[in-house]
Amino acid sequence: FAVLAVLLLVHSSQAVYVQDGDLKFSLESVKKLKELMDENRHINPRMAVSVASYSPCDEKDLPEEFQSVCKREDASMIFERLNLAVQENDLCEICANAACAGCF
């Protein structure tokens, strides 16, 4: 079982992307995904849908670029890794700066 690293990529145009394996998504879309996933988890702790049965693909506000992920069998794992990648609020904002040595 291999764990794929999720990378933040900064291109010369200052656009920031989050990459998971061979998949690449805009940072803004990944932040929106995180919002959707967080909202679902905080509705009501006693009635919360288990993480295993929840899919962001059911959300009408899911950014279009994630539609191809929804067709994959490993979609839930990809969404979970992307969500974890943007858990550190400062990380994404720091890496949006191209001078950040930790970004690619």
- Domains of the chain plus CATH, in order, are 21-44+54-103 (3.90.1450.10)
Q: Are 16 and 27 in contact (CB under 8 A)?
A: yes
pLDDT (0 to 100) of residue 54: 74
Asked whether the whole model's pTM tops 0.85, one would answer no
- Report residue 26: phi and psi, to 5°: -70, 145
If DSSP codes are grouped into helix, strand and coil, which group holds residue 24? strand
DSSP string, 66-87: GHHHHTSTTHHHHHHHHHHHT-
pLDDT (0 to 100) of residue 32: 94
Encode the chain (104 residues) as per-residue pLDDT tens digits: 444 455 555 555 567 888 888 899 998 999 999 999 988 776 555 554 455 567 899 999 999 999 999 999 999 999 999 988 887 655 545 455 444 444 54
Q: Which two tokens stand for residue 100?
A: 């950040």
pLDDT (0 to 100) of residue 90: 52
